[in-house]
Amino acid sequence: MDIITKIAVLTIPLFSGVLLSCEHNSSLMKEGRIKFVEPEKVMSVDPDTSLSDSFREIPYAYNLQIINDSILIIHSQSHETESNQFIAYDMGDYHRLGSFVKQGRGPGEILEPWIVPSDARQKGLYVRDNASGAAYIIDVMRVLGGDNEDSFQEVDIPDGTVDWAPLNSTNYLLLVNEHNELTIQLTGTQKHTFHPYRGLNADRYIPKFSSILTGNEAQGKLAYAMLCFPQIAIIDYKSKEIHSSAVDPSYKNWESILKSQFSPESMQYYRTLTSSDKYIIALYDGCSLSDTASPSHIPTIHIFDWEGRFLYELRVRENIGAMSLDSCSSYLYCIDNSSGQIIRYDLSGILGE
């Protein structure tokens, strides 16, 4: 997904650790706040070919997510005559469990559904309606059983919410525009508010604030992967400590990046991410929008730990898109954008999980 599409979808629109430092400092680029890092190891990985015949009924997949450590959800229409958006598969033998969510306004329907990335251990599927901004948790097993009404739990998010992300079933991270200031709020049983954008015009810079978020409840941390900046930022939301790792020197040009207009030559850096209690796995483009649109474009996979160390750069030969990590097996499930098919990489030898 390119930057322009990402801004329209606004899956998790947050900004970089550069700006997170501005709550206590006038300079967005205060020396020492950002650490330039290089991978400790670079290696190539190939897809596991044993999965190749498991999803023949899907002509083209758009997104995917593992839930409950046992069910793979694929965003697609399996047949021309089927209007359901999501298809569920048992990850034990990949038999089809059923499909759900039609486009519409009635029970069990969403106008423009989009999967919100979450921990694969979450029991529900988190979905945003890009048409209305509404957010839902879907009880997949209940909706597959025909309960289209009670299986949808709408998440109560405040006015001014630009977007949201789940930490768990009761705690959510929100990006909220309050009086033209963007604040990050962790709501639910835990409540924390961050002011990373003080002094910045929210209405003007929201497009450049777009990023992707994942959480680590066990360690009490959140990670941000930036689209417009080559950085991963990690926040300890209890101690308020921030670690920001940059993988390309271009992060120093923050001011010109922030103020520039989007064009085919605008840079896209991180595109999506997934995580476990030990690792953050991010998809990195590091090229212009025009290059990401090329069929020959191949991204790389960056693996960090939760201290911000850049452990691995994985080189692939596929133009992969959405990702979801099965932390039980250390298989990384992805969509091959060129074919729309599901592929996976065996990372057990790398992650050791």
Q: How far apart are CA 324 and CA 214, in angstroms?
A: 12
Q: Cβ distance 82 to 96 under 8 Å? A: no
Domain coordinates in residue numbering, the chain: 3-351
Provide the β-strand partners of residue 153. Answer: 137
Q: How do residues 5-16 score in pLDDT, each as one tens digit?
A: 554 444 333 333
Q: How far apart are CA 307 and CA 241, in angstroms?
A: 11
Q: Cβ distance 226 to 272 under 8 Å? A: no
Q: Is the pLDDT of residue 175 over 90?
A: no
Q: Is the pLDDT of residue 17 over 50?
A: no
Higher per-residue pLDDT: 345 or 131: 345
What mean pLDDT, rounded, does the chain reach?
84
Q: Which helix (H) or strand (E) holds 292?
A: helix 289-292
The pLDDT-based confidence of 114 (bands split at 50, 70, 90) is very high
* pTM score: 0.88
Write the burial class of residue 177 (CB in 10 Å: 0-12 exposed, 13-18 middle, 19+ buried): middle
In CATH terms, is domain 3-351 a member of 2.120.10.30?
yes
Q: How do residues 243-277 score in pLDDT, each as one tens digit?
A: 889 999 998 888 888 888 888 898 999 999 999 99
Q: What's the confidence (pLDDT) of residue 80?
A: 55
Q: How far apart are CA 76 and CA 97, in angstroms?
A: 14
Range 200-219 average pLDDT: 81
Q: How far apart are CA 279 and CA 267, in angstroms?
A: 25
- What's the chain's length in residues? 353
Nearest to 345 by CA among 335, 329, 331: 331
Q: What's the confidence (pLDDT) of residue 132?
A: 86
